[in-house]
Amino acid sequence: MNLAVRDIRHSFSRFVFTTVGIGLLLMIVMGMGGIYRGLIFEATLLVDRIGADLWVVQGNTRGPFAENSRIPSNIEDRLRALPEVTRARRFVSHAIQRDHHGKTLRMMVQGLAWPDDKGEWVSLVAGRSLGQAHFEIVADRSLGLALGEQVKFGKDVYRVVGLTTGMSGIAGDGLAFFTVSDAMAIQFDSPGEAIRLERASRLVRTGSQDFGRAQPLLLERAGGSSSGISELPRPQVSAILVSLNPSADVDEIISTLSTWSDVTVYTAQQQKELLLSGTVDKSRRQLGLFSALLIIISTIIIALIMYTLTLDKIHDIALLKLIGARNRVIVGLILQQALLMGVFGYGLAWWLGQYLFPYFPRRVMLETPDLIKLALITVLISMLASLLGIWKAMRVEPNTVLA
């Protein structure tokens, strides 16, 4: 006869409510683990998908995801000249936050080197890849933009031509893919008044110098568009993505590039490691510590529940001892109830998570190895939690029945 099941049957509503409570607690633990995995996934998503063998970034920096990286876009041409380099693409990445239809629209702008890179590697759920050099976006669904919708950034209007899903950046903002020139136009857009003031300022600066006074044509150009002044620096991008011949000796190419003092080069794996050890490291550790804390709290709460349930049955336990029940019968009664609560609570947590986690603002990834680990932890904490109740039950004297 299974006493645990019969006790549950008798106090079914109490068991259900207690299990729901434990289930919600476990769902939070499960969710924290899922957010932890989601954070890692989102951080490395772009590096994984973009398919570059090497990331060439500003010298002595850790790349565009860790810090500001600015390198001249013409490095792309220098890289193409290297043997074994099959492809070199400019890459721009920066976050923007604008108002759109009265709502805040925050996105990670990714600039693709159109027409070399039209974003064919981005998995689309609707629409198409970038089809022209300007004014098109492939946006993630999390941004809330519809296919065909037009969005104004700076002085230009962009049309959504493709939609992706599950493409987010390190901060959880949806990714939006533009051509590099559009991404830079959005990044460096200045109001007309600021441009006029800068031109006037340039005129004054140039006019106050000897070469400006001596060369009227130069002075005239200084007051015009900056694109007409070849002396101004070339546009800068975040990184250059390099693809290599599959048979290439990567170490040799890295060794060659390391002699270029104006850039730093990382493999895709190194770029991922930099992301995980740098940008997301503190968040990872915080989530990990918070999950551990939640597990400890869950254990304490389940222990207190089991202790209370044991106290409710203390008279019955004393009676069982009096009529000669072995300790394993009494331990089984408490332990089986704790395990049943843990198992049902875990099942409820998983089931609820399937419905609730997709509505979380950040990605929550429930991976099978993590679920198995949490299941084992649940069994373990259920067993640990029952110890307090078992300790109490072992101490009760059979003659308590007579009291």
Partner 1 sequence: MNTVTDQVPAIEAVGVTKVYGHGQTEVIALNDVTLRVARGEVVALLGPSGAGKSTLLTAMALINPPTSGQIIIGGELVMDGEDAKIDLRTFRRKHLGFVFQKANLIPFLTALENVQVALEINDTPASTARQRAMYLLDHLGIGDRADNLPDALSGGQQQRVAVARALANDPSLILADEPTAALDSHRGRQVMELFAQVAHESNAGVIVVTHDVRALDVFDRIVEMEDGRLLESSEHTGVGAP
Which residues contribute to the site for partner 1 (CB under 8 A)?
A: 1, 3, 6-7, 9-11, 315-316, 319-326, 329, 397-399, 401-402
Closest contact distance (angstroms) between CB of 273 and partner 1 is: 57
Closest contact distance (angstroms) between CB of 346 and partner 1 is: 24
> How far is 107 from 94, CA to CA, in rounded Å?
9
Q: Which is nearer to partner 1, 233 or 324 (CB)?
A: 324
Closest contact distance (angstroms) between CB of 277 and partner 1 is: 55
Q: Which is nearer to partner 1, 329 or 340 (CB)?
A: 329
Closest contact distance (angstroms) between CB of 326 and partner 1 is: 7
> How far is 222 from 205, CA to CA, in rounded Å?
9
Closest contact distance (angstroms) between CB of 324 and partner 1 is: 2
Q: Which is nearer to partner 1, 26 or 317 (CB)?
A: 317
User: Tokens 């693809």 identify what position?
Assistant: 243
- What phi, psi does 236 have (nearest 5°)? -110, 145
> How far is 93 from 58, CA to CA, in rounded Å?
13
End-to-end C-alpha distance for the chain, whole angstroms: 27
Closest contact distance (angstroms) between CB of 401 and partner 1 is: 6
3-state secondary structure of 205: helix
Q: Which is nearer to partner 1, 15 or 153 (CB)?
A: 15
The answer to whether the CB of 36 falls within 8 A of the CB of 252 is no
Q: Which is nearer to partner 1, 80 or 326 (CB)?
A: 326
The answer to whether the CB of 401 falls within 8 A of the CB of 322 is yes
Q: What residue type is assigned to position 259 of the chain?
A: T
Host H or E run for residue 202: helix 192-207
Q: Which is nearer to partner 1, 30 or 306 (CB)?
A: 306
